[in-house]
Every structure is written in structure tokens, then in C-alpha cells.
Amino acid sequence: MKGDNSFVSSGRGPAILRNCLLGAWIFVFKQRSIFTARNSSEITEIIAGLSIIFFSLYYTYIRKEKNKVWGIPTWFFGGSFLLIGMVFLFYKN
């Protein structure tokens, strides 16, 4: 009898998280403005959150692949990154 392990990652979820976080980090640190330097962590989280949501929904609904990390849908991680980044950006400014 095969057991169900809900903490197993499936599909492209881990790759989506890794690539979007790295891409957002590279995008933000290539910018040369005072605003970006002062708010780089919040902007990184917002860009990463939006890109994670976009790619997760693309792979889920267009390519019909499961995207879970530790049993949690990848778009949920993207939404939490986006929410945390926006809260800290608005709280800071």
C-alpha cells in the first residue's frame, strides 16, 4: 500500500520559486536609482511574487502541470511574497 506524503514537491513548483526569486534579485540589483537601492528588498519581493503567480498559473492552467512545494500550491507562495513586499513597502514609506 502506497502512503500519501503531502510534503513532497511536485511539478515545476520548486523551479518556479528558484528562478523567479533569482530573476527578481538580478533585475533589482541591475537598477541604479536611489529609490531602488533604498527599497530593494521590498521591490524584489513584489516582482518575485508577481512572477511566481504568473508562471504558476501558466503551468497549472495552460500546460496542465501540478505545481506544489511541500504540498502547498506555488501561487500561494507568490501571493504571500507579494503581500509581504507590499506591506513592508507601504509601512516603510
Per-residue pLDDT of the chain (93 residues; tens, 9 = 90+): 455 555 556 677 778 888 888 888 887 777 777 666 677 788 888 888 888 888 888 888 888 877 778 778 888 888 998 999 899 888 876
Structure confidence at residue 8 (pLDDT): 59
In angstroms, the CA 84 to CA 78 distance is 10
Q: Where are the domains of the chain?
A: 34-92
Q: pTM of this prediction?
A: 0.74
Residue type, 68: K
8-state DSSP, 65: -
Number of helices (H), then strands (E), belonging to the chain: the values are 4, 3
